[in-house]
Structure 1
Amino acid sequence: MIRHLAAALVALAVGTATPAEATPGLVPAADREVVFTADGTTAYGTLHVPEHRAGQRLRAALLLPGSGPTDRDGDQPPGAAPDTLAQLADTLGGDAIATLRFDKYGTGRTGLGAYRDHPEELDYPAFVRQARAAYESLRDQPETNPHGLLVVGHSEGAMTAMLLGGTVRPRPTGLALLQPQAIRLLDLVALQLKDQVAEATRQGQFTPEQQRAVNAAVDAAVSSLRGNRPVDTTDLPPPVARLFEAFQGPDARFVKSDDAVYPPDTTTALRPGTKVLLTCGTNDVQIPCVTTNALTTALRHAHAGGPGRVALPGVDHLMHDFDHPNTLAPPVLDALRRFARH
């Protein structure tokens, strides 16, 4: 479920451990801590620099996580640790691409920062501004080629990547939109809920009449939220009712500001020829491939470059498949390598 949630920057780094032996003439691969600021909040991240020649400027990618309290590695401790972004950094490093991933608001060392005493004021544009500051920090790293920057976003992070792609300077040369949030937030929430109710009906937990009632109540709840009216939760199952109550409570500002973005509209600001990879997994129940149709069409109309949309057989939202439940699935790796070498 997708849910919650200009900058001065400081790009200072602290070295960490590197391999014991370096190849002669090459600087060994290393990770280091990067610190930058956005809207008065200090954010912390990890810069991964692959093996390279001394003085060489590398292509570099900013990695953006999905929704919720997802940290720099793509984890939501303590319950979920798929290491999505850490694995993306390793994969791109194999193609000599440096990466920066960071703890966004509410996660890791960054925490809530300036929003600590009023988290209800944290909205989606604040996350976009934080990502922009991270992009500028990456741009200014000594190993980075500022004219070879990429943005790689997963889920909600892919929508943020599109917003950055049309506004930052210099413009990124490519965007990788991995299982992207490609329709408005509340439309996606409604789709996910209706799919869950349909599955519960197939299992006998709801009658068809109850299914229709719940679906109608979900649609009414979305309309009420968009119309700034109280949501009637009478016909909603308790977990769904609690979700919409949160959407009217502490998450209201974030939900409203996220839902205001229609991702296909963001493509008009992209520089023509920007290479774009858009992936969708055939086993992704959170963001089905069909939800990316309008975005795919909009990218084509914006004259984005390839490789374009790539369907990933058997791949779920976390980019795993049945045989690779804890690592990026081979179709994901293949798509990323084609993007990196395009």
Structure 2
Amino acid sequence: MFLKWTQRLLLPLALMSIPVLAVEQTVQVPGPLGALSGSLVAVADPQAPVVLIVPGAGPTDRDGNNPLGIRAATYRLLAQGLAGQGISSLRIDKRGLFGSRAAIANPNQVTVQDYASDVRLWMSYLAQRERYRCVWLLGHSEGGLVAMLAAQNNPDLCGVILLAAPGRPMGQVLRSQLARNPVERKQLDAALAVIDSLERGVPVAEVPGVLQPLLRPEVQSFLISGFALDPAQLLSRVNKPVLILQGNSDLQVGINDAEALHAARPGSVLRILAGVNHVFKAVPQGDHEANVAAYGDPDLPLASGVIEPIVQVIHGAAH
């Protein structure tokens, strides 16, 4: 059973001087213990394509913000930009968080597979309740891994759009991120030892205090589930159109990840965006301070070149 409620506002949205009327409404589907919640931006054309935006790592909400200092509103800006081009979208809160917090008692007791199951449920909602012909999955960062898993053998899938998605197993990506950070060698060695154990599927009870936010025991079941997945392998099994977008000023995921995904899926479209960071804002090349500051600036628009290739691959697939 699907639930739907709360039409919130009528938005005259525009991109490239093309006005489109779109209605944003809160929608819900049943989760394990309570409702999962999202925001559906529906353009007036009932035949319009729809994009399901899958959020990235941590306590990230449907707009692309989280209480750890990220206020870039990337997903809200994506929804607005797509609506301006006649494309509907659904952005969602993850199981146990924000509008979906009633869905599970402990938001840490989840796996990547759980998130992928929820995405598939949302896809069924869009296909059955909202009657979209099929659904484009757009996964950002860790959400790209979730999207690739949800895309497997999915009859409701139109195609996959990956923004700053990992092209290697999460453990390898995490090692690279830690190696670039100015941490003491002893701390790095301890972190790598924990990652090694989690890759073997073995939890670690004692985690040094400085590593608690990243590797604490409460989130290790989730990390174990993610470490076991190979994004390139998952993408190689997707037989629908694929677009890969990657900024060359990304501090978290590299061009090598995008290239690995592109190599794994022949026929995919790869776009490397110059001067674009992990939250898809334009930043001066090599300016670390400005790059980090962009994570907290909702008034900074999406970088030029983000919306256009998404629109092109969606409309190209329709012809």
The answer to whether TM tops 0.5 is: yes
| TM-score (norm: length of structure 2) | 0.83
Residues in 2 aligned to 1:58 and 1:46: alpha-carbon distance in whole angstroms = 17
Q: Does 1:105 align with 2:95?
A: yes
Aligned to 1:158: 144
Aligned to 2:132: 145
Among all aligned residue pairs of Structure 1 and Structure 2, give the percentage whose two residues are the same amino acid.
23
- Per-residue displacement from partner, 1:75-122 (whole Å, max 9, x unpaired)? 1137322111111111111221111111112322211x3431x44432
Aligned to 1:282: 248
* Alpha-carbon contact 2:108-2:218 (below 8 Å) kept: yes
After TM superposition, the structure 1 = structure 2 runs for residues 68-217 of structure 1, keeping only pairs within 5 Å, are 68-77=58-67, 79-111=69-101, 113-116=102-105, 118-142=106-130, 144-147=131-134, 149-170=135-156, 172-197=157-182, 211=185, 215-217=188-190
- Per-residue displacement from partner, 1:163-205 (whole Å, max 9, x unpaired)? 12223223x22211000022111211111000113xx7xxxxx
| TM-score (norm: length of structure 1) | 0.78
Aligned to 1:61: 51
Query: Residue 232 of structure 1: CA displacement?
Result: 7.7
Aligned to 2:315: 341
Q: Which residue of 247, 252, 261 maps to 1:295?
A: 261
Partner of 2:5: helix, strand, or coil? strand
Partner of 2:265: helix, strand, or coil? helix
Residues in 1 aligned to 2:103 and 2:23: alpha-carbon distance in whole angstroms = 31
Q: Which residue of 186, 208, 232 maps to 1:264?
A: 232
Residues in 1 aligned to 2:253 and 2:68: alpha-carbon distance in whole angstroms = 24
Q: Which residue of 315, 331, 335 maps to 2:276?
A: 315
Larger Rg computed on CA atoms? 1
Residues in 2 aligned to 1:97 and 1:321: alpha-carbon distance in whole angstroms = 23
Residues in 1 aligned to 2:203 and 2:124: alpha-carbon distance in whole angstroms = 39
* Alpha-carbon contact 1:176-1:276 (below 8 Å) kept: yes
* Alpha-carbon contact 2:126-2:132 (below 8 Å) kept: no
* Alpha-carbon contact 1:319-1:332 (below 8 Å) kept: yes
* Alpha-carbon contact 1:95-1:340 (below 8 Å) kept: no
Gaps of 5+ in 2: 13-19, 285-289, 295-299
Residues in 2 aligned to 1:85 and 1:264: alpha-carbon distance in whole angstroms = 24
**Aligned residue-pair number:** 296
Residues in 1 aligned to 2:87 and 2:223: alpha-carbon distance in whole angstroms = 34
Residues in 1 aligned to 2:107 and 2:66: alpha-carbon distance in whole angstroms = 18
Residues in 2 aligned to 1:84 and 1:276: alpha-carbon distance in whole angstroms = 20
Aligned to 1:224: 197
- Per-residue displacement from partner, 1:52-72 (whole Å, max 9, x unpaired)? 3xxx32211111111111111
